[in-house]
Amino acid sequence: MTPGAYLDHAATTPMSSDALAAFVAEAQRPGNASSLHAAGRGARRVVEESRESIACAVGARPSEVLFTSGGTEADNLAIKGLFWGRRAQDTRRTRVLVSAVEHHAVLDPAFWLAGHAGAEIVLLPVDRVGRVDLDALRADLAAHAAQTALVSVMWANNEVGALQPVREVVRIAHQYGVPVHTDAVQAVGQVEVDFAASGVDALTLTGHKLGGPIGVGALLARRDLPLEAVQHGGGQERGVRSGTLDVPAIRAFAVAVEQAVGEREARAAHLTALRDALVAGVREAAPDAVLRGPNPAEDPASRLPGNAHFTFPGAEGDSLLYLLDSAGVQASTGSACQAGVPQPSHVLIAMGVPEAEARGALRFSLGATSTPDDVAALLAALPAVVARAQAAGLVSGGRA
């Protein structure tokens, strides 16, 4: 069990007991799913039944489910594979449109393509709460559709919890014949995700964000999508993702997806109540804290139910994180560190948050195992933690 109050479910969730039991049961059985003997056929049956279960849960066809080692690999396969596949059809298609608030698992492969494969990357702007600017997307495609390989806009932002207008993105892009990928790793199990109904051409999900194991995920991809392989070998997964399939992890992943989706409505109501109590409590404990992302009080459907993201003026996020950790409360800054130097979140910067304010960010994310006691522990520790972090910021010269 994780000690203390764990408020970092957006980073990883505890495995559910059902998923863990499924993993252990399969791990005790031999068999490579590519082998033709009885053990191999048994492993293959588990894989295909898991594929069917995941497809049913998220509105896809089983043949559209491609297993990967997780969300990062699935995003890389979507961005690189779709770019290369589209460019093979038409060498003019070198533009890749991604929202400015994407996870680095989307941004980094896109910029790698710019540096190594002649891609032109367009960062779509977002508004002050982190939602993509549809007018900017529409204008760019109107001018450059013939040169555009793909659009990638995440279903839900991992830092500020903003839900993106995915169906509107699809509607605009498809008017110009441009395929759309969405990273939905934060969304599945918290909000309704239906691959077919959304109209997206490719969708990323992963196990450890919804009660499954680390190291397994999937890319949902339409059968007619021109997708080039990123890694090569045995030709598994429609020939675009070679590698021996991790049968125990895939089985546990399927159990977790089915459970998370099946319990979604009850879980969302539970998380929303906890999130609202957390937001109200933080505002009382630290009145100058600023809630970032959509305001759930104004539009409950605009934000993930388990996400609350604040900036604390005059305090460094890292200081807040370490002080909370010492008090038994685990959260996240939601920002990256490069070469040991804390950097403000690219998500907050894209939203127009000044760099000094962006440095004081903390993300609190709730999950299936979260309780009112977790929120109470945070609220009890927060006033002293914020005061100490702000004092440290003053001593260091007010850089926060």
> Which are the catalytic amino acids?
337
Residue 231's CB is within 10 A of a number of other CB atoms, namely 13
User: Per-residue DSSP letters for 112-161?
Assistant: HHHHHS--EEEEE-B-TTS-B-HHHHHHHHHHHGGGEEEEE--SB-TTT-
The enclosing H or E element of 66 equals strand 65-68
Q: Which strands, in side-by-side order, build the sheet including 148-152?
A: 65-68, 217-221, 202-206, 180-183, 148-152, 95-99, 120-124
Euclidean distance between CA atoms 296 and 303, whole angstroms: 6
Assign 148 to helix, strand or coil: strand
- The closest alpha carbon to 359, from 392, 324, 318, belongs to 318
End-to-end CA distance of the chain: 34
> What's the token pair of residue 299?
């539009």
Closest to 161 (Cα-Cα) out of 292, 279, 351: 292
Q: How many CA atoms lie within 13 A of 116 on its CB side?
A: 9
Q: What are the backbone angles phi and psi of residue 374, rounded to the nearest 5°? A: -65, -45
